[in-house]
Amino acid sequence: MNKKLVSASVLATALIALPLLTMAGFNPGDPPAANEAITIIGLIDLVIEFIWPVVVIIVILLFTFAAFQFFTANGDPEKVGQARQAFIWGIAGTVVIFLAWSIPFIIRNTLQV
């Protein structure tokens, strides 16, 4: 058999087995304790806290894009109309986002949770 082929297959086998050999003595410790204090309301609050900054950044970028369209329109009525539509849709989207953001709070206050 060809010596290069044998040495390449031995090297490949060693490289494949290397992660297994390095993790053989790994002790991850005790499993974490389950957090039984989390509720559905708490989970919804966590999701909202995570998503809210992302939504704010998207809204800021949307209005910046609409302003950029206004500045680059140079008086062209068609481009000004597109920029105005982008601004109007940005306002509509912001209103929908604020309404969606307030729904969990309205439900919580209604159910007295």
Q: Is residue 7 part of a domain?
A: no
pLDDT of the residue at 24: 64
Q: Is residue 102 part of a domain?
A: yes
Q: Is residue 1 part of a domain?
A: no
Q: Is residue 64 part of a domain?
A: yes
Average pLDDT of span 85-94: 89
The whole model's pTM is what? 0.56
Q: Is residue 77 part of a domain?
A: yes
Planar angle of CA 24, 28, 29, nearest 5 degrees: 130
pLDDT of the residue at 112: 78
Q: Is residue 24 part of a domain?
A: no
Q: Is residue 62 part of a domain?
A: yes
Closest among 113, 92, 105 to 52, alpha carbons compared: 105
Dist CA 26 CA 9 (whole Å): 27
pLDDT tens string 5-51 = 667 666 666 666 666 666 666 677 777 666 667 777 788 788 888 88
Dist CA 109 CA 107 (whole Å): 5
pLDDT tens string 48-73 = 888 888 888 888 888 888 888 888 88
Q: Is residue 23 part of a domain?
A: no
Count of domains forming the chain = 1
Q: Which domain holds residue 59?
A: 37-111
